[in-house]
Amino acid sequence: MPDTDHPAFRRAVVALNGGSSDARIVRLVADYATRAKAEVIAIHVVEIDWTLPLDADIAGRSEDVQRVLDVAEAIAERAKLALEPVLLQARDVGAAIVDEATERDADLIVVGLPYRMRFGGDFAIGRTIPYILQNAPCTVWVVREPMSEEPS
């Protein structure tokens, strides 16, 4: 009988964006993955502008980019979880995440969603998450961070 309190997955792709939601989603996945003995791949995609060649070494020269993966690895290590860090460069972040999940036969993609308001007060979800939800070959968890407690 499946454990409904702890959803099972074999392989999860955790999409890191360098924002405040990264730590939250790594901890969440680590909690479930250690129980399920699942494989976790943390990917950070650096979007390359169309004016640059796709093979331009943008990501490799940035300490900030590497720090995103280092922070995820440190959180996973504290949770005693083996995490494979992957750094990608792509024209489109959503497509790169879906492609990586497909290539690795992942049965879960986890993405964080910061709580942001656009000018005018509308909640902003961006374009990456809708792309992933529409095109992912597997289950997708979107983890929205809490609303800011600061008055707007």
CATH of the domain at 110: 3.40.50.620
Report how many domains make up the chain: 1
Domain contains 136 = no
Domain contains 141 = no
The pLDDT assigned to 53 comes to 61
Structural domain that includes position 104: 11-122
Q: Among 137, 132, 75, which Cα is nearest to 104's?
A: 137
Domain contains 25 = yes
Tell me the C-alpha distance between 32 and 44, whole Å.
Answer: 21
Domain contains 35 = yes
Please tell me the pTM assigned to this model.
Answer: 0.84
Mean pLDDT per 10-residue segment, the chain (152 residues) = 63 92 92 89 87 63 79 91 91 96 97 74 82 97 77 42
Can you tell me which residue has the tokens 């083996």? 82
Tell me the C-alpha distance between 89 and 83, whole Å.
Answer: 20
Domain contains 2 = no
Domain contains 5 = no
Beta-carbon contacts of residue 56 (< 8 Å; ≥ 6 apart): 48, 89
The pLDDT assigned to 83 comes to 93
The pLDDT assigned to 151 comes to 43
